[in-house]
Structures are given as C-alpha cells and as structure tokens.
Amino acid sequence: MKIVKKYFLVAVNTIILSIFASQCFAQSQSATADKKKDREYIKIINQLYYFIQQNYVEEVDPQILYEGALRGMLQALDDPYSVYMDKSEWRNISDTTQGSFGGVGLSITKPSTTSKDKPAYVEVVQPIDDTPGARAGIHPGDFIIAINGVDTSTITMDEVLGMLRGTIGESVTVTIRRKTVEFDRVLVRALIENPTVKFGMIGNIGYIRISEFSTNTAGHVQEAIDSFNTEKKLSGVIIDLRNNGGGLLSSAVEIADKFIDSGIIVQTKSRIAYENSVYHANEKKTVVRGLPVVVLINRATASASEILSGALKDTRTAYLVGEKSYGKGSVQVPSGLVNKDGFKITVARYYSPLDVNIDKRGIRPDLEVLYPEFTEEQKNEWERIEKDNVIPSYVDAHPDMNEAQIASYAKQLKKSYNMEESFLRKIIRNEVYRTKTALLYDLDYDIQLNAAIKVIKDGKFESLMKDTKTLKDQLAEDEAAKKEE
C-alpha cells in the first residue's frame, strides 16, 4: 500500500506542477519570486496529503484526495466554467468537440432511477445511418439490457458510454430486448460522426437546426446551404439554435462567415496576449445577399451559439426570434492531464462585432415569443399522465397513428386530463415517433418556429431589419434602465 501511495503521490505532484507551470503562473513578470511561492505551496500540499494518509481515522483512497485537490483548485477560481473532469467526462467532451469517435452508432437514453418493476435499461432512441448499430438491425425502441454480459440497469450512463465507445475495430457484444424477444449482437466499433446539423425545407424556406458546434458542423451547414441554393423559389433561411449549449468558437466563426459580408465576427480578450484574437469575415459569403435570415434562440442558447447569433444581430444580417439567451460570454480551453483526466479553464471573454460582452446578460430577440408557463394544476396533470402511463400504452396498441388519429386521441385525453390539446398532441406525437425517425420540426406545437416562418412570409424583412437593435443598443438601454432605478 505504501508503495502505491508513493507512486500515486509522484503522479499527483506531476499533475499539480504541470498545471501550475503551464497555466497559473505562465505570464508572471516576477518569475523567481513566483517559483519560490510555487515550491512553498506544493510543499504544503504534500504535507497535508501525507498527514491525511497517515493520521486520518479511516484509510482514504488516494484518488479521492487527488480529485478533491484538482476540483478545489478550479473551484477556487469562482468560475462555473473552469472545471475538473474525470476520464469519462473528458472523453465525452473530446468526442463532442472533435465531432467523431470510435463507437457503435446508437443514440441512446437511460432512466436515472431503477427498480424491480422498471429496471433502468438503456433504450435505443435512433441508430445512426450506416453505422454498426444500424447495420446490425437494431431498432428504435429496442432495449440494451446487457453490454459484454454486464446488466445495464446496474451501471451509470457514463459507464454505458465507456463500454460502447472505444478503439475502432474492436468488438462489443450487446444483448437486445425487443418486446418479449432477447438476442445478442456483436458490433465492431467504427468511426462515428456526431450528427450536429439537421436540415430540410419548410415549404420554400430552408431550415437548419444546429445542436452543437464541433469540427464538422460548419461543413454540414454548407451542405444545407448548397441544398437550399438548388431551390428556385427559396424565400429565406431559418437557423435554429434553441437548446444549443455551444462548442467550438472556430466552428461558430466559420458558420457566421457564410452569412456575413465583411467586418468583425467576434473578438476575444484575455490577460494572455496569444489568447487575444479578432476574427473577420473573409468576404466569401455563400448565402445569397438580401435573403431573409431568421435565428431562433431560447434560454438554453449559450456560448458559441451566442457568438453566432450575436454576430448576425450586430451586423444586421439576421432577425432573432424566441427568448432571451443564456448569457455565457467567456471562452474555455480544454486540456488533458497525464492520467487521461482533463479540465476546462476560462482563458478569455468574447465580444461581439460592436464590442459587447453578453456574459450574464444574454441576447434579447428582436421578436419575443414565449411558451405559456404551466400552472400548478397543469403540472400536476402532466405528472398524473406520466404516472398513469396512458400514452405509451395506447401508442403500443396503435403503433402507426397518423395526425388525425393523434388529434382524436388528444381530444379523448382532454376529457380526463385538464391540459391544452396542442400539448397533448405534442406528447402523443413524441411517443409515436420514439420508435421511428424523429420529425425535423413540429409546426403543430412550435409557436416560435411558426413566428419565424411568418417573419419571412410577411415580406417585410428589410423594413424589420432597419428597426432592429444591435447588442450595443441593448446594452445602452440596460445601462439607462439601471440609472433610473
């Protein structure tokens, strides 16, 4: 045990030294004094580590102290975006930003709680086309009850991902339950691309939904634009950034460049000189000049999504519809550690083309469209619907419901549950498509998307854009309102 501890301490010291040397004091002007402080602080950390290991009332797993030390250092920054990540968290963020990973190509979900009556098995939401999972004939709605013989109801989602993802070319065995039938499939891991862009036409309007910004996102947005440009009567483009928590700054910049003629897209400012950058449009715009562009945002639109929507707003390129965005105006750099853990740390703040930082402010849309808040009674009714399990049971018995049948069943449910029929239709429709290819959009329920379509169809886009407020205008209004309070 003592030998393990000594080796582990060397690893801890190496990691701490690496962090201090490469991040915390790299820009110090008084190098000698700071190095002396470094040695003193690390000596104190070593002293406390040894004392805990030798004297604490119970034996402590060294990993707990190691993770606690790293989490504590980053928490001391009082920055919610500077965080330590263990191996599974680090792998997930690497997969997200790189846009591809070794895996089996199954979009999955897993309940957070398990019971004897309802084990928390992994459910397949959708196999990704032309991947090992799809080629093996795995269907939406199938349950993965075991991976390499391990019961999936007994492990976490991170552990599930850790078993399904891995080295390309290696195999993994999944046990599938389809209704009452169980069978095994051997899946050979392949390079899987994370699908971050979906697009299609809504009449003569091009619609692009971006779920996150990875290395491949800009290329897929270009595919969407190229597809739209083949339409003879294209009347506008809608970019849906709702519930998009961000991703790579470079990806957002590259996409903005497809819409903006010239000038600044975004700039980053930091105390470290090489983190200061100004990103300009390269004047090779690929979207037709003058084509109406509407961006959908909501309270979960954050970070790189706000870089894109803010750039399009400040340059008066797009009209924003929806809700005020989240307000995350800082830039993080992810970095791996020697033991395959990692961390993210804030290195800069970003500013819009008109030099506005939206951190903790968010971006207000040009046209605010809010979904009605549920009353307490409606929340209770929704919980009752979920508890009664009426919709899954009905859909299981009627698997191929069309829109008329969905509407008819919603009217029937309305008699027992005091909910809006449009909402009832939505949750019925969600259940119907749980085991099918998901709909790209839902015009029956989505009032924000319908508002965006109306902006384009009304034919007054040019005059609307003349009256829009830039982020600088919004900031001035906010400052004036503060002075009046």
Is 285 a known active-site residue? no
Q: What pLDDT shows up at residue 178? A: 86
Query: Is 478 among the catalytic positions?
Result: no
Q: Which of 44-53, 58-67, 208-217, 448-457 has the highest mean pLDDT?
A: 448-457
283-302 tens-digit pLDDT: 777 887 789 999 999 999 99
Predicted confidence at residue 382, as pLDDT, reads 87
The phi, psi pair for 472, rounded to 5°, reads: -65, -40
Please tell me the predicted confidence (pLDDT) of residue 318.
Answer: 97
Rounded-to-integer distance, Cα 37 and Cα 159, Å: 40
CA 329 – CA 358 distance, rounded (Å): 5
For 184-232, the pLDDT digits (tens) are: 999 999 988 878 999 999 999 999 999 989 999 999 999 999 999 999 8
**Percentages of the chain per state (helix, strand, coil), in multiples of 5:** 40, 20, 40
Q: Is 346 within 8 Å of 331 (Cβ atoms)?
A: yes
Phi and psi at 38, nearest 5°, equal: -55, -50
Please tell me which residue, 29 or 358, carries the higher pLDDT value: 358
Q: Bigger pLDDT: 409 or 11?
A: 409
The span from the CA of 99 to the CA of 97, in Å, is: 5
Quick check: is 43 catalytic?
no
Give alpha helix (H) positions in 165-318: 217-228, 249-256, 304-314
pLDDT at 338: 84
Residue 238's DSSP bridge partners are 207, 294
What is the model's pLDDT at position 96? Answer: 61
Q: Which of 95, 240, 257, 314 is catalytic?
A: 314
**pLDDT at 28 > cutoff 70:** no
Q: How confident is the model at residue 7, as a pLDDT?
A: 37
Question: Can you tell me which residue has the tokens 């005020």?
Answer: 324
Residues whose CB falls within 8 Å of the CB of residue 403, separated by 6 or more in sequence, listed in order: 444
The stretches of 76-184 forming alpha helices (DSSP H) are 87-98, 132-135, 157-164
Out of 328, 330, 366, 446, the active site residue is: 328
Q: pLDDT for 360-413, tens place per residue? A: 999 999 999 999 988 899 889 988 998 898 998 999 899 889 999 999 999 999
Q: Quick one: pLDDT band at residue 102, thresholds 50, 70, 90?
A: confident
Find the catalytic residue in 82, 303, 330, 352: 303
Q: Which range, of 14-28, 240-254, 386-400, averages the lowest pLDDT?
A: 14-28
For residue 8, what are the CA distances in angstroms to 2, 44, 60, 139, 334?
Answer: 10, 17, 13, 45, 24
Neighbours of 367 (CB within 10 A): 16
